[in-house]
């Protein structure tokens, strides 16, 4: 479930990994894992939170192997980081993940070990977040409100500046990406951290509803938690407090998933425990009482924070949009283009067919007029009379060709025929037309 060493230098640490209610009901093990390691001098911290995919056969094992191996390798690189800097570690992380993936692949199918990765490396002059998939990483800088000689007796704002690496989900809310996936390089996000941070937190997606709301730290839960942890003198007491908070009945009603939360706090913040805390969520003072979001609350989600930088006055840095967010407009534009092309093709076919029909009717009319001019006394047979009837109905089309004597043609032929009293129904016009016979003229 977790491994954690003692407090490190300037930092107080607390960790809780709690089995989710759904796992308890199904009698399945917790699939979250957290590993925290420090250097011997306490100047460096490497913390890793991994959440195993519920659909993977060996998800819990994968989370443990990745968290243990990744944290251990980060700590081993501290001498090189001090010499070469954080950018060198960014390149080295790719090799570390490659080695971890190789170890998993040698133990079985790598997809059986699917898990996410949320990690932090903290040093004397700053740090970095490393993130693949959902879960979140949070960092904040506190500030004292007030001026003058008595400013340290004023109110404290814990989240004056916030850096947030948000979860990355797939097309659907319950989809995410894994360190074991083939496209892990594309989904690895690295965010550099300044050296003056006061609070750092890593969490799996099950703990997010209590820590984050609408992309901001949820002060009704986090502020009392920070103060309570600062008052606890020993690490095991802080771990117990955090475990109690995450395993309460109210948290089970809000989130049934496994919940992991790691928090590191500057020891210098012990001075705030007797101060009035300004809530970053509402701007009011914190009453130091825990408040867990209701069941309707959802984890804060959004775009990925890559290369995060601090933003003053309680604003969260605008994250870099994900490539997936641009897919929907592109698909809509492509669909509109295809629809336009199909409409154009359909219209073209209609015009070709119409042109053919108009040409056919024009030829018929020309033939009728020619036959009428040959002999005004010549009698038309029944098929020819039917043609006259059909052309009379299509007179509007015929008028397009300037054939104005169509009615005259029909009238003259009708006058040269005997008219019987019987009539027949014309299905095209809905009226009755005379049934011309082939009897001789009177």
Question: What number is the average pLDDT over the span 394-419?
Answer: 48
What pLDDT is recorded for position 440?
40
User: 178 in a domain, yes or no?
Assistant: yes
| Residue 442 in domain | no
Q: Is the pLDDT of residue 201 over 90?
A: yes
Quote the pTM value: 0.65
Residue bearing the bigger pLDDT, 213 or 380: 213
Q: What is the largest CA-CA distance in the chain?
A: 129
pLDDT digits (tens, 9 = 90+) for 91-124: 899 999 999 999 999 999 999 999 999 999 999 9
The three-class DSSP label of residue 50 is strand
How much is the mean pLDDT over the chain?
A: 76
- Kindly state whether residue 328 falls inside one of the protein's structural domains: no
* Mean pLDDT value across residues 162-166: 95
Report which of 251, 250, 252, 227 is spatially closest to residue 238, judged by C-alpha positions. Answer: 227
Please state whether beta strands 277-278 and 156-165 pair in parallel, antiparallel, or not at all (unpaired): parallel
Residue 190 pLDDT > 90:
yes
From 292, 321, 350, the end of a domain falls on 321
Position 333 scores a pLDDT of 83
On whether both 215 and 356 belong to a single domain, the answer is: no
Total domains present in the chain: 2
Between 395 and 189, the higher pLDDT residue: 189
pLDDT of res. 296? 41
Residue 104, φ and ψ in degrees, nearest 5? -65, -45
**337 and 382 belong to one structural domain:** yes
Measured torsion, CA atoms of residues 413, 415, 416, 422, in degrees rounded to the nearest 10: 90
Residues 378, 311 share a domain:
no
Q: Do 175 and 316 fall into the same domain?
A: yes
Residues 207, 89 within the same domain: yes
Residue 32 lies in a domain: yes
User: What 3-state DSSP class applies to 76?
Assistant: helix
Q: Point out the least confidently predicted range of 3-7, 94-98, 146-150, 302-306.
A: 302-306
CA 272 vs. chain centroid, Å, equals 38
| Confidence band of 346 (pLDDT split at 50, 70, 90) | confident
Q: Which of residues 321, 354, 388 is at a domain's end?
A: 321
In degrees and rounded to multiples of 5, residue 237 shows phi and psi of: -70, -40
Q: Give a yes or no: residue 69 inside a domain.
A: yes
Span 139-155, average pLDDT: 68
Res 182 pLDDT > 80: yes
pLDDT in tens, 19-56: 998 888 888 899 999 999 999 888 999 999 999 998 89
- Percentage above 90 pLDDT, the chain: 41
The residue out of 321, 343, 375 marking a domain boundary is: 321
Where in the sequence is the domain holding 383, given as residue range(s)? 333-436
Q: What's the rounded mean pLDDT across residues 409-420?
A: 45
- The answer to whether 19 and 26 have CB atoms below 8 angstroms apart is no
- Tens of pLDDT, residues 244-295: 999 888 888 888 889 999 999 998 888 777 677 776 653 344 555 566 665 4
Q: How far apart, in Å, do the first and last CA atoms of the chain sit? A: 113
Instruction: Measure the CA–CA gap between 204 and 259, rounded to whole angstroms.
Output: 6
User: Which carries the bigger pLDDT value, residue 290 or residue 63?
Assistant: 63
Is residue 327 included in any domain, yes or no?
no
CATH number at residue 303: 3.60.40.10
Answer yes or no: do 314 and 364 share one domain.
no
Spatial CB neighbours of 195, under 8 Å, sequence gap ≥ 6? 123, 124, 125, 126, 127
């Amino acid at each position: 479930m977790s491994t954690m060493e003692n407090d490190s230098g300037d930092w107080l640490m607390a960790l809780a990994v709690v089995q989710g209610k759904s796992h308890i009901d199904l009698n399945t093990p917790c699939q979250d894992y957290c590993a925290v390691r420090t250097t011997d001098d306490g100047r460096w911290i490497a913390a890793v939170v991994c959440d195993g995919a519920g659909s993977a056969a060996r998800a819990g094992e994968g989370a443990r192997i990745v968290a243990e191996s990744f944290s251990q390798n980060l700590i081993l690189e501290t001498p090189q980081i001090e010499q070469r800097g954080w950018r060198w570690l960014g390149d080295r992380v790719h090799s570390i993940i490659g080695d971890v993936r190789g170890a998993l692949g040698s133990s079985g199918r790598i997809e059986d070990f699917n898990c996410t990765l949320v990690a932090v490396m903290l040093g004397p002059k700053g740090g970095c977040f490393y993130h693949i998939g959902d879960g979140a990483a949070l960092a904040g800088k506190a500030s004292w409100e007030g001026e003058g000689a008595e400013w340290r007796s004023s109110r404290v704002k814990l989240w004056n500046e916030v850096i947030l690496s948000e979860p990355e989900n797939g097309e659907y809310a319950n989809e995410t990406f894994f360190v074991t996936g083939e496209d892990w390089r594309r989904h690895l996000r690295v965010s550099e951290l300044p050296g003056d941070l006061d609070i750092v937190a890593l969490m799996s997606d099950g703990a997010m509803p209590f820590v984050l709301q609408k992309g901001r730290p949820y002060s009704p839960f986090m502020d009392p938690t920070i103060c309570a942890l600062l008052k606890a003198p020993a690490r095991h007491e802080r771990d117990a407090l955090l475990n109690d908070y995450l395993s309460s009945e109210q948290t089970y009603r809000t989130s049934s998933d496994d919940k992991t939360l790691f928090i590191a706090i500057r020891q210098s913040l012990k001075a705030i425990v007797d101060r009035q805390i300004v809530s970053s969520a509402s701007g009011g003072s914190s009453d130091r009482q825990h408040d867990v979001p209701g069941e309707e609350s959802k984890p804060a989600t959004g775009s990925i924070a890559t290369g995060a930088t601090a933003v003053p006055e309680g604003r969260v840095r605008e994250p870099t949009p994900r490539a997936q967010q641009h897919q929907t407009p592109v698909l809509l534009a492509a669909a509109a283009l295809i629809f336009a092309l199909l409409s154009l093709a359909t219209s073209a076919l209609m015009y070709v067919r119409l042109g053919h029909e108009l040409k056919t009717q024009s030829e018929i009319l020309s033939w009728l007029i020619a036959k009428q001019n040959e002999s005004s006394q010549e009698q038309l047979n029944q098929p020819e009379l039917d043609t006259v009837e059909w052309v009379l109905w299509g007179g509007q089309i015929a008028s397009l060709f300037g054939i104005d004597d169509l009615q005259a043609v029909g009238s003259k032929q009708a006058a040269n025929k005997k008219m019987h009293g019987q009539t027949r129904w014309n299905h095209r016009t809905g009226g009755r037309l005379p049934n011309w016979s082939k009897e001789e003229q009177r």
